Amino acid sequence: MRQETAGLTRERMLRELAEAVEVMAAEVPLVLWLEDLHWSDPPTVDWLVYLARRPGPARVLVLASCRPFETLATGDPLEATKDALKMRGECREIALPRLDEAAVGEYLARRFPADRSIDALAGMIHSRTGGNPLFVVSVADDLVRRAVLIERAGRWQIDDRHGLAAVAIPDDIRRMIGHQLDRVPADDRRFLEAAAAAGVEFSAAVVAAAEQIDLEAAERACAVMAERGSFLMLLGDETWPDGTVTGRYGFRHALHQEIVYERTPAGRSAQLHRRVGERLEAGLRERAIEIAAELAMHFERGRDPDRAIGYLQMAGEVATQRSAAREAVAHLSHALDLLRAEPDTAERADREVSLHVALGGPLMAVKGRGAPEVEQAYTRARELCSRNGDTSQLFPVVWGLFLFHRSRGEIDRAHEFARRLLDLAKTSGDPGLLIEAHHALWATRFARGELAAVNGHVSDALALYVPDRHSALAAVFGNHDPAVCALGHGAWALELSGEPQQASRQSAQALALARRLGHCFSEAHALLYAARLHQFRGEWQTTRECAEAAAALAREQGFAQLQAWAAVSAGWALAESGEVAEGIATLREGMETLRTLGSEDFRTYFLSLLAATLARAGETGGALEAIGEALNAAEQSGERFYTAELHRQHGELLLAAGHDRVAAARCFERAADIARQQGAHALADRALRTLDANRV
Instruction: Clarify whether residues 547 and 676 are in a common domain.
Output: yes
The strand pairing partners of 114, in sequence order, are 156
431 within a domain of the structure (yes/no):
no
Q: 71-75, 398-402, 428-432, 674-678 — which is least confidently predicted? A: 71-75
Q: Which of 112, 129, 58, 50 is nearest to 85 (CA)?
A: 50
622 within a domain of the structure (yes/no):
yes
Q: Are 357 and 393 in contact (CB under 8 A)?
A: yes
DSSP letter, residue 99: P
For 176-205, what is the mean pLDDT?
Answer: 89
pLDDT at 385 over 80: yes
For 241-259, what is the mean pLDDT?
Answer: 89
**Residue pLDDT, tens place only, 524-547:** 999 999 999 999 999 999 999 999
pLDDT at 78 over 80: no
Instruction: Clarify whether residues 296 and 158 are in a common domain.
Output: no
Q: Which range in 49-53, 54-58, 610-614 is most confidently predicted, on average pLDDT?
A: 610-614
Average predicted confidence (pLDDT) for the chain: 88
pLDDT at 119 over 80: no
The pLDDT value recorded for residue 82 is 80
Instruction: Clarify whether residues 668 and 554 are in a common domain.
Output: yes
Instruction: Clarify whether residues 597 and 677 are in a common domain.
Output: yes
654 within a domain of the structure (yes/no):
yes
Which amino acid, one-letter code, is at 422? L
Instruction: Clarify whether residues 206 and 141 are in a common domain.
Output: no
Q: Which of 389, 313, 325 is nearest to 356 (CA)?
A: 313
- Measured CA to CA, the distance from residue 252 to residue 396 in angstroms comes to 47
The pLDDT value recorded for residue 4 is 56
Beta strand pairing call for 60-64 and 30-34 = parallel
The strand pairing partners of 234, in sequence order, are 249
Q: Is the dihedral of CA 501, 506, 511, 513 positive or negative?
A: positive
The pLDDT value recorded for residue 76 is 59
76 within a domain of the structure (yes/no):
yes
329 within a domain of the structure (yes/no):
no
The pLDDT value recorded for residue 665 is 92
The pLDDT value recorded for residue 152 is 80
- Measured CA to CA, the distance from residue 49 to residue 44 in angstroms comes to 9
**Which residue among 270, 301, 332 closes a domain?**
301
Beta strand pairing call for 201-203 and 245-251 = antiparallel
128 within a domain of the structure (yes/no):
yes
Which comes out higher in pLDDT, residue 519 or 571? Answer: 571
- Measured CA to CA, the distance from residue 214 to residue 217 in angstroms comes to 6
- Measured CA to CA, the distance from residue 680 to residue 642 in angstroms comes to 9
3-class DSSP state of 185: coil
pLDDT at 187 over 80: yes
Instruction: Clarify whether residues 177 and 160 are in a common domain.
Output: no
Q: How confident is the model at residue 161 (pLDDT cuts 50, 70, 90)?
A: low
DSSP letter, residue 114: B
Which comes out higher in pLDDT, residue 671 or 131? Answer: 671
Q: Are 249 and 204 in contact (CB under 8 A)?
A: yes
pLDDT at 52 over 90: no
Q: How many domains does the chain have?
A: 4
- Measured CA to CA, the distance from residue 581 to residue 616 in angstroms comes to 10
For 33-61, what is the mean pLDDT?
Answer: 85
The pLDDT value recorded for residue 681 is 95
pLDDT at 521 over 60: yes
Instruction: Clarify whether residues 565 and 605 are in a common domain.
Output: yes
The pLDDT value recorded for residue 160 is 61
The pLDDT value recorded for residue 423 is 93
Q: How confident is the model at residue 163 (pLDDT cuts 50, 70, 90)?
A: low
| Beta carbons within 10 angstroms of residue 185's beta carbon | 8
Instruction: Clarify whether residues 16 and 61 are in a common domain.
Output: yes
Instruction: Clarify whether residues 688 and 551 are in a common domain.
Output: yes
The pLDDT value recorded for residue 463 is 95
Q: How confident is the model at residue 103 (pLDDT cuts 50, 70, 90)?
A: very high
375 within a domain of the structure (yes/no):
no
Q: Which range in 167-181, 220-234, 465-479, 623-637 is most confidently predicted, on average pLDDT?
A: 623-637
Q: Which residues contact 11 (CB under 8 A, 6 or more apart)?
A: none
- Largest CA-CA distance found in the chain, in angstroms, rounded: 127
**Which residue among 169, 193, 227 closes a domain?**
169
For 422-445, what is the mean pLDDT?
Answer: 93
For 244-269, what is the mean pLDDT?
Answer: 90
Q: What is the CATH number of the domain that holds 227?
A: 1.10.10
For 549-578, what is the mean pLDDT?
Answer: 92
**Which residue among 87, 110, 140 closes a domain?**
87
Instruction: Clarify whether residues 199 and 240 are in a common domain.
Output: yes
Q: How confident is the model at residue 170 (pLDDT cuts 50, 70, 90)?
A: confident
Which comes out higher in pLDDT, residue 358 or 10? Answer: 358
Instruction: Clarify whether residues 288 and 252 are in a common domain.
Output: yes
- Measured CA to CA, the distance from residue 479 to residue 524 in angstroms comes to 11
Q: Which domain holds residue 123?
A: 101-169
pLDDT at 66 over 70: yes
Q: How confident is the model at residue 6 (pLDDT cuts 50, 70, 90)?
A: low
For 411-425, what is the mean pLDDT?
Answer: 94
pLDDT at 361 over 80: yes
The pLDDT value recorded for residue 58 is 87
**Residue pLDDT, tens place only, 459-501:** 999 999 999 899 888 888 888 899 999 999 999 999 999 999 9
Q: Which of 196, 214, 203 is nearest to 283 (CA)?
A: 203
Q: Is the dihedral of CA 631, 633, 636, 639 positive or negative?
A: negative
Q: Which range in 161-165, 186-190, 224-228 is most confidently predicted, on average pLDDT?
A: 186-190
27 within a domain of the structure (yes/no):
yes
pLDDT at 676 over 80: yes
Q: Which residues contact 318 (CB under 8 A, 6 or more apart)?
A: 289, 292
Q: What is the CATH number of the domain that holds 589?
A: 1.25.40.10
pLDDT-above-70 percentage for the chain:
95
Instruction: Clarify whether residues 552 and 653 are in a common domain.
Output: yes
Q: Are 135 and 169 in contact (CB under 8 A)?
A: yes
